[in-house]
């Protein structure tokens, strides 16, 4: 398992259009191509472990893929049963969305993942999918992978979800496309909406009214996708925090999706005092553009609303909190406990190793700004924990252990980071 040493950064100006492509959109682009008639084109796909696992799975399901190094041309003639186990690696998105996609496919399928994914809760998708007729099972009554799926008929449903989860919503929308009538899905807060936008773009009859999504079953196959995957705001955010915490610095992050359900962490950083400007340059499936972040003194913040819009960025935001004046509080964020690691305890414990005061509670934590001190911290196999504490190292130097996980989402992270500071791998 590799480790890295990061050295403190001097004031920097960093401009890039090479932030890794969006992970959520990349997963969806290959999965949804399985629902299209004709050739889908996907450019700038994220070639990272999580999303390459999804690509390999659609190959197992019968898709043919032509890759010229820039664009995948994907053709499928419906989902075919595979003789192999389908490996989602570290990806909860992969496993949960494939569960919905395969719930109505003809055949028997097994989904598995790495040791971390096999510990994460799957009942949030297996339960509602079973309720509408899908035949899914797994350890602990369907809560833990490996999952087995025997595709079958899906009953029309009106489902009210208790959690704001795009993964659950997407799994149910995918199942609804093959249901025997019109379905509705309501969530308590709007979660990221790439699934609705992309499927609508492919001609699916999906309408959204506030928190309620109505899905009409597909009459035949959908139109092919033609998409250039924008850069991932969750990956871009590490460099936003970098600029915000190193005095005198600026980061210009180009070609990023500006989907409102994805840029809430930048808004939070702005509320903490950072100087941030957004510029929309394109609109295809969703708004795309640049985000410029300039350092300014930061102050504490309370985060309690729209948690699902910034859930993935909270570890990195916690590094900004550690550099801010006052005590910041994160509430209503129990979902952090079931991410790639228990992110409440991994953030709090690692901050303490860096001499920052931080208190953990059931659904959140506090961070009191102070002087970050160099330390040796563990990623716990979690890419976002690894990258967040590497960014903390820009202030004080840091050693981060077990960094291979960064390849799940941001393979060129160190290449970009070395434009900002000295990195010893
Ligand atoms: C994702 C949804 C979020 C997010 C995850 C990616 C997606 O999870 O944390 O990294 O692509 O749908 P939940 O839907 O469980 O909140």
Q: What share of the chain is helix, strand, coil (3-state, %, to 5)?
A: 35, 30, 40
Give the mean pLDDT of the chain: 97
Q: How far apart are CA 81 and CA 100, in angstroms?
A: 15
Concatenated DSSP letters for 173-215?
A: HHHHTTBSS-EEEE-SSPPP-HHHHHHHHTT--EEEETTEEEE
User: Please, which residues have CB within 8 angstroms of residue 230's CB and are 6 or more apart in sequence?
Assistant: 21, 22, 25, 44, 255, 256, 257, 286, 288
Ligand 1: atom nearest CA of 164 is: 16
- How confident is the model over 243-276, as pLDDT tens digits? 999 999 999 999 999 999 999 999 999 999 999 9
Q: Distance from the CA of 338 to the center of ligand 1, in angstroms?
A: 11
Q: Distance from the CA of 397 to the center of ligand 1, in angstroms?
A: 31
Residues at CB less than 6 angstroms from ligand 1: 24, 93, 165-167, 170, 191-192, 308, 311-312, 335
Per-residue pLDDT, averaged over 288-310, amounts to: 97
Residue 356, φ and ψ in degrees, nearest 5? -100, 135
Q: Distance from the CA of 232 to the center of ligand 1, in angstroms?
A: 13
List the residue whose alpha carbon is closest to atom 4 of ligand 1: 312
Over 80: is that where the pLDDT of 23 sits? yes
Burial class (CB in 10 A: 0-12, 13-18, 19+), 226: middle
Q: E strand or H helix at 14, and its extent? A: strand 13-16
- How confident is the model over 85-115, as pLDDT tens digits? 999 999 999 999 999 999 999 999 999 999 9
Asked if 310 and 317 count as a contact pair (C-beta separation under 8 A), the reply is: yes
Structure tokens that stand for 356 in this block:
């920052």
User: Please, which residues have CB within 8 angstroms of residue 226's CB and are 6 or more apart in sequence?
Assistant: 40, 41
**Residue percentage of the chain with pLDDT more than 70:** 100
pLDDT band of 355, cuts 50, 70, 90: very high
Q: Distance from the CA of 170 to the center of ligand 1, in angstroms?
A: 10
Question: What is the model's pTM?
Answer: 0.98
DSSP E strand stretches across 47-119: 64-67, 71-75, 86-87, 108-112
List the residue whose alpha carbon is closest to atom 9 of ligand 1: 312
Over 90: is that where the pLDDT of 398 sits? yes
List the residue whose alpha carbon is closest to atom 10 of ligand 1: 312
Radius of gyration in angstroms for the set of CA atoms belonging to the chain, rounded to a whole number = 21
Ligand 1: atom nearest CA of 166 is: 14
Q: How far apart are CA 139 and CA 129, in angstroms?
A: 16
Domain residue extents for the chain: 3-21+230-424, 23-215
Q: Distance from the CA of 92 to the center of ligand 1, in angstroms?
A: 8
* Strand 108-112 with 86-87, pairing: parallel
Burial class (CB in 10 A: 0-12, 13-18, 19+), 3: middle
pLDDT band of 35, cuts 50, 70, 90: very high
Over 80: is that where the pLDDT of 378 sits? yes
Best probe residue, ligand 1, of 95, 117, 311 (max atoms within 8 Å of C-beta): 311
Q: Distance from the CA of 131 to the center of ligand 1, in angstroms?
A: 22
Q: How far apart are CA 59 and CA 66, in angstroms?
A: 11
Residue with tokens 């890419």: 383
Asked if 107 and 96 count as a contact pair (C-beta separation under 8 A), the reply is: no
Concatenated DSSP letters for 100-135?
A: HHHTTSSSEEEEE--TTGGGS--HHHHHHHHHTT-E
Per-residue pLDDT, averaged over 124-129, amounts to: 98
Number of Cβ within 10 Å of residue 25's Cβ equals 28
- How confident is the model over 140-182, as pLDDT tens digits? 999 999 999 999 999 999 999 999 999 999 999 999 999 999 9
Best probe residue, ligand 1, of 89, 91, 92 (max atoms within 8 Å of C-beta): 92
Four-way CATH pick for 23-215: 3.40.50.720, 3.40.50.150, 3.90.1150.60, 3.65.10.10: 3.65.10.10
Structure tokens that stand for 229 in this block:
């995957």
Number of Cβ within 10 Å of residue 208's Cβ equals 15
Beta bridge partners of 287: 283
> Which residues are the active-site residues?
312
Fold category of 3-21+230-424 in CATH: UDP-n-acetylglucosamine1-carboxyvinyl-transferase; Chain (3.65.10)
- How confident is the model over 201-252, as pLDDT tens digits? 999 999 999 999 999 999 999 999 999 999 999 999 999 999 999 999 999 9
List the residue whose alpha carbon is closest to atom 15 of ligand 1: 165
Best probe residue, ligand 1, of 93, 117, 338 (max atoms within 8 Å of C-beta): 93
Asked if 336 and 360 count as a contact pair (C-beta separation under 8 A), the reply is: no
Q: Distance from the CA of 166 to the center of ligand 1, in angstroms?
A: 6
Over 80: is that where the pLDDT of 1 sits? no
Q: Distance from the CA of 121 to the center of ligand 1, in angstroms?
A: 13
Q: How far apart are CA 266 and CA 222, in angstroms?
A: 35
Asked if 307 and 333 count as a contact pair (C-beta separation under 8 A), the reply is: yes
* Strand 364-368 with 357-361, pairing: antiparallel
List the residue whose alpha carbon is closest to atom 11 of ligand 1: 24
Give me the pLDDT at residue 297, please. Answer: 97
Structure tokens that stand for 329 in this block:
């509080």
Domain 3-21+230-424 and domain 23-215 have a common topology: yes
- CA-based nearest residue to 91, from 28, 148, 177, 140: 28
Asked if 28 and 416 count as a contact pair (C-beta separation under 8 A), the reply is: no
Residue 50, φ and ψ in degrees, nearest 5? -60, -50
Give me the pLDDT at residue 135, please. Answer: 98
């Amino acid at each position: 398992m590799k480790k890295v040493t990061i050295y403190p950064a001097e004031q920097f100006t960093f401009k890039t259009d090479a932030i890794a492509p969006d992970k959520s959109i990349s997963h969806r682009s290959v999965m949804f191509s399985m629902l299209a008639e004709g050739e889908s084109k996907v450019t700038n796909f994220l070639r990272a472990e999580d999303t390459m696992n999804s690509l390999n799975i659609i190959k197992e399901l019968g898709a043919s893929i032509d890759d010229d190094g820039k664009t995948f041309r994907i053709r499928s003639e419906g989902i075919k049963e595979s003789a192999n186990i389908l490996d989602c690696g570290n990806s909860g998105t992969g496993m949960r969305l494939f569960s919905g996609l395969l719930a109505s496919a003809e055949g028997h399928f097994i989904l598995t993942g790495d040791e971390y994914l096999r510990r994460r809760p799957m009942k949030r998708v297996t339960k509602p999918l079973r309720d509408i007729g899908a035949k899914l099972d797994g350890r602990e009554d369907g809560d833990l992978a490996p999952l087995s799926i025997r595709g079958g008929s899906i009953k029309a449903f009106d489902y009210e979800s208790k959690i704001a989860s795009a993964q659950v919503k997407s799994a149910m929308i995918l199942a609804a496309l093959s249901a025997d009538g019109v379905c509705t899905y309501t969530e308590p807060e709007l979660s990221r909406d790439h699934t609705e936008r992309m499927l609508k773009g492919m001609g699916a009859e999906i309408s959204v009214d506030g928190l309620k999504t109505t899905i009409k079953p597909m009459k035949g196959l959908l139109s092919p996708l033609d998409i250039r995957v924008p850069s991932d705001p969750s990956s871009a955010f590490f460099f936003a925090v970098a600029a915000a915490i190193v005095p005198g610095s600026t980061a210009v992050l180009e070609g990023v999706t500006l989907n409102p359900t994805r840029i809430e962490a930048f808004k939070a950083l702005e509320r903490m005092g950072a100087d941030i400007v957004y510029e929309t340059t394109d609109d295809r499936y969703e708004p795309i553009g640049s985000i410029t972040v300039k350092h300014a003194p930061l102050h504490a913040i309370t985060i309690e609303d729209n948690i699902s819009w910034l859930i993935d960025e909270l570890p990195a935001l916690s590094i900004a909190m550690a550099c801010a004046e006052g005590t910041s509080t994160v509430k209503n964020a129990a979902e952090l406990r079931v991410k790639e690691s228990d992110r409440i305890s991994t953030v709090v414990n690692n901050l303490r190793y860096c001499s920052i005061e931080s208190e953990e509670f059931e659904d959140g934590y506090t961070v009191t700004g102070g002087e970050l001190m160099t330390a040796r911290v563990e990623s716990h196999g979690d890419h976002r924990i690894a990258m967040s504490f590497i960014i903390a190292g820009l202030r004080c130097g840091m050693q981060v252990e077990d960094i291979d996980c960064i390849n799940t989402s941001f393979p060129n992270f160190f290449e970009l980071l070395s434009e900002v500071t000295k990195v010893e791998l």
